[in-house]
């Protein structure tokens, strides 16, 4: 699977899974615009690939910022073939019972804003450019888009919403633009949490260690971001996946086949644990 000549835009592409996708796309022959709010992260990825990467700083929750990322990609590379909506935040399995009353509104708005609205705005901004090239959109979902306990109440709801968004966009954008998703399982990456819950400095890679995950998944190991990138390449390669739209590739390490897990509830609900 090669991406020679492909011009891609990756949101949240300056770190973690997004950075791994960018690196893999470049290896396969693509040029990539990285849209991220981290100036330091953007500087690092553009410095590593000065002829292959354009960096655009901004917030995925801002339509104008998304439009600017698309415009700079088209101006710099002459067009846009693939949008990868990847920017996201995790709620560190925060259960409803432990969500503070005074922070629910802000936490909901932040998680849904980044994980759902960010995808919607990226799609809105990129659609015209992708129609011109018969291009495609790819969105990062999660095992939490299909099953419980891959996150807390807010994150799981946001990823279920992302699944619905992919399917609706695939319907609306056909036949000019394909819309698909990749649903990774657990991952050793620097995924942060919402500021509204004071989780912005927490890193998923510090929580999901090999010891923690041992025995919890059929593959019995903690995947790295690079382990998931081939699925994005496949969906970006029109010659390989040109028949696919409205599809989501699940690569969850056996999450859906793990059997009976720990059930929350019981006395913990009364105690607020």
Where in the sequence numbering do the catalytic residues fall? Answer: 155
**How, if at all, do strands 178-184 and 53-57 pair?**
unpaired
C-alpha dihedral (253, 256, 257, 258), degrees to nearest 10: 80
Q: b/e string for 66-76 if b means 16 or more Cβ within 10 A?
A: bbbbbebbbee
CA separation for the pair 161, 115 (Å, rounded): 9
Calpha distance 176→98 (Å, rounded):
45
User: Which two three-digit tokens encode residue 29?
Assistant: 């022959």
What are the tokens at 77? 């590379």
Residue 209 has a CB neighbour count (10 Å cut-off) of 11
Angle between helices 118-133 and 153-173 in degrees, nearest 10: 20
């Amino acid at each position: 699977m090669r991406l020679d000549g492909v011009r891609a835009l990756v949101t949240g592409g300056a770190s973690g899974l997004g950075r791994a996708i960018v690196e893999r796309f470049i290896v396969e022959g693509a040029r990539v615009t990285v849209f991220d709010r981290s100036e330091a992260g953007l500087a690092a990825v553009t410095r590593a690939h000065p002829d292959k990467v354009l960096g655009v700083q901004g917030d995925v929750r801002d339509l104008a910022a998304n439009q600017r990322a698309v415009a700079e990609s088209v101006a710099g590379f002459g067009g846009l073939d693939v949008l990868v909506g990847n920017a996201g935040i995790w709620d560190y399995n925060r259960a409803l019972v432990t969500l503070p009353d005074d922070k629910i509104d802000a936490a909901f708005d932040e998680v849904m804003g980044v994980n759902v609205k960010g995808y919607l705005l990226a799609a809105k901004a990129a659609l015209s450019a992708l129609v011109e090239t018969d291009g495609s959109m790819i969105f990062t979902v999660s095992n939490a888009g299909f099953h419980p306990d891959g996150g807390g109440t807010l994150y799981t709801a946001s990823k279920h919403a992302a699944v619905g968004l992919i399917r609706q966009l695939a319907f609306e954008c056909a036949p000019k633009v394909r819309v698909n998703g990749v649903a990774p399982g657990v991952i050793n990456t620097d995924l942060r949490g919402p500021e509204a819950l004071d989780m912005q400095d927490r890193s998923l890679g510090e929580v999901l260690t090999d010891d923690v995950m041992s025995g919890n998944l059929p593959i019995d190991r903690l995947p790295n971001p690079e382990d998931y990138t081939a699925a994005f390449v496949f969906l970006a390669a029109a010659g390989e996946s040109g028949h696919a739209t409205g599809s989501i590739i699940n690569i969850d390490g056996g999450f859906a086949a793990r059997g009976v897990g720990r059930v929350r509830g019981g006395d913990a609900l009364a105690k607020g644990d």
